[in-house]
Structure 1
């Protein structure tokens, strides 16, 4: 199996999923268990502990931003640090688009967040990290909607 991202989760401190994107097929009953276990593993760690955890045959890289956690499931041979930085880049893009992104921005603009994610990651592979390029399509869509 080549290196890749298998899923991305965004959850709040209460463990409620705000965004999930799977890049490999996972049936719904398994998703519920996967999300619950991953969230539990991430929320149970304190700030002094490593942001990489093992889950079944995957590694999970996560970061906390205020009340939100972003967890990324990756295959064994994917680079944890590059994914850790990808999460930071994703949040910076969200911040740039929403002007200080919040949980409410995610909840009420989920379509926009998915567009951003799709511009950055396709088929479990990182395809774009340049913030201006990532936001290009969204800015075009916004101009069309306004005008």
Structure 2
């Protein structure tokens, strides 16, 4: 089973994300996007989610204002492709926290990262939601480290504590007192922590780590 491409399309026909797993010329890609957009956007809500396009199949599903469209081989299982699309949406929901079109517009790199963890050369490579989120969290930590000048955090915090630091660079200047209200807002409330998205958890953990580091540095 192999997916040839995955396209995220808005109701207005704007491409929000396009991932190609087959080698095609820019002209062929533009042709596919145009044809597929016209086919999918013209279909009614109750119509089948599968349709034929040349020698391939198109599998699509609408989530809110976005159409998730996958092109696969004619002999592939459409239901498995549909499940892969749904799994991708679930992973983005976990990361962004109820993902919407604006999340993908302003943070499209993360959408590509998540997709790359799920699919490799159009084939399903990872089914574990926990493993995918763990890998994305590690990528976020590496990006956080690159924010520092020279790629190194301040000497008074460890590399692990530096995760989430870039959320706090502005707040750190005003001291620990300003950080304490946020850090204690859901402190000790395990259920409150569980409902946060991965991105929100990174922010929360970063504030806690920063508060701890500042207080230790000043003691």
TM-score strictly above 0.5 = yes
Structure with greater proportional helix content: 2
Name the residue aligned to 2:11.
13
1:39 deviates by 1.2
CA RMSD of aligned residues (A): 1.0
1:54 lines up with 2:52 in the alignment: yes
1:142 deviates by 2.1
Q: Which has the higher contact order (CA 8 A, sep 6+)?
A: 1
1:44 lines up with 2:42 in the alignment: yes
1:133 lines up with 2:131 in the alignment: yes
- Structure 1 unaligned runs (5+)? none
In our comparison, the structure showing a higher alpha carbon Rg is: 2
Cα deviation 1:63-108 (Å, max 9, x = unaligned): 0011100000000121100111111111010000000101111011
Distance 2:121 2:28 in 1: 20
Distance 1:32 1:140 in 2: 34
Q: Secondary structure at the match of 1:19?
A: strand
Distance 2:110 2:85 in 1: 17
Name the residue aligned to 1:111.
109
Name the residue aligned to 1:101.
99
Distance 1:129 1:108 in 2: 26
1:110 deviates by 1.2
Cα deviation 1:41-80 (Å, max 9, x = unaligned): 1111111110001111110100001110000000012110
1:141 deviates by 2.2
Deviating beyond 6 angstroms after TM superposition, the runs of 4 or more aligned structure 1 residues are none
1:143 deviates by 3.2
Paired residues in the alignment total 145
Listed as ranges, the matches of 1:71-82 within 5 Å are 71-82=69-80
TM-score, normalised to structure 1, is: 0.95
